[in-house]
Structure 1
Amino acid sequence: MTCTAALRHIVLCEFNSDITQAKHAELVYEFSLMKHSVPGVLQFEWGENISPEGLDDGYSDCFTLTFDGAAARDVYLTHPAHLAFVELLKPWLARVLVFDYFPQEVPG
């Protein structure tokens, strides 16, 4: 297996049941601004869970940021734009799960 330099930062969110569609849309938009606000963010993706398997454990939204390596992710974690967004997000979160990984290529 080989490792690429890019790092994926996956954020799974379960929002509070009282979140409005407008607030949800605002939070998605604000999160998407990280790509433009924080150096080293190469890509931002978002999507709502549509799996029919029923294995989402209540998580409804997936956010994926791709960083130019672990150092860029570390800058993001303490960047003022990210910290401000976290404070905006916290009141609306029931739960969050974060998972970082380097994509691996499997030969074959």
Structure 2
Amino acid sequence: MEEEAKGGVKNSLLAKFKEGTSESQIDQLIQGYANLVNLIDPMKSFHWGHELSIEKQLEGYTHVFETTFESVEGVAEYIAHPAHLDFANLFLPNLEQLSFSSTADQQVITMKNPSEIQVMMMELLPDPKDQS
């Protein structure tokens, strides 16, 4: 646990935005993602950049997002937080492709199939039919 307290939990997300998503929309989504660090206490940092790995570029990824959380429990709080759920409703529909990995205490969880991540997120997001 001491190591987790020092380094926390790091989540990395590789993404490719859908064709037709404008640079302005992408910038707004990135700003929204970055702002989550101000809204969700266990989220300690957010960094992003353009994918530089030749291998990942060949797979189609264009952006990398890294977030750091204070603990595994902090990640759970982030996932269920209304600000994160609202953001995910905006962000995920704009992605064509994504790959997610999470590391904590020398353990790694990786999901490469976008449908895996979307299924996981859809289980957390409210059903739009229930909002009418």
Please give the TM-score of this superposition, normalised by the length of structure 1. 0.86
Match of 1:49 in 2: 51
- C-alpha contact (below 8 Å) 1:41/1:72 kept by paired residues: yes
Tell me the distance in 2 between the aligned counterparts of 1:14 and 1:47.
Answer: 12
Counterpart code for 2:71:
G
Shift of 1:103: 6.0
Tell me the distance in 2 between the aligned counterparts of 1:36 and 1:102.
Answer: 22
Match of 2:26 in 1: 24
Match of 1:15 in 2: 17
User: What's the CA shift string for 1:57-89, capped at 9, x where partnerless?
Assistant: 111111111000100000001110000001101
Match of 1:90 in 2: 92
Identical-pair percentage = 24
Q: Counterpart of 1:46 in 2: which secondary structure? A: strand
The alignment of Structure 1 onto Structure 2 pairs a total of residues equal to: 101
Match of 1:4 in 2: 4
Counterpart code for 2:19:
S
User: What's the CA shift string for 1:6-60, capped at 9, x where partnerless?
Assistant: 1001111111121111001000000001100111111110111123xx2101111
Tell me the distance in 2 between the aligned counterparts of 1:35 and 1:72.
Answer: 12
Q: Which runs of 5+ in 2 are unaligned?
A: 107-132
Tell me the distance in 1 between the aligned counterparts of 2:73 and 2:88.
Answer: 20
- C-alpha contact (below 8 Å) 1:41/1:68 kept by paired residues: yes
Relative to 1, partners in 2 of residues 1:49 and 1:103: Cα closer, same or farther, differing over 3 Å? farther
- After TM superposition, the runs of 4+ consecutive aligned structure 1 residues lying more than 3 A away are none
Identify, as 1 or 2, the structure richer in helix: 2
Relative to 1, partners in 2 of residues 1:7 and 1:14: Cα closer, same or farther, differing over 3 Å? same
Q: Counterpart of 1:33 in 2: which secondary structure? A: helix
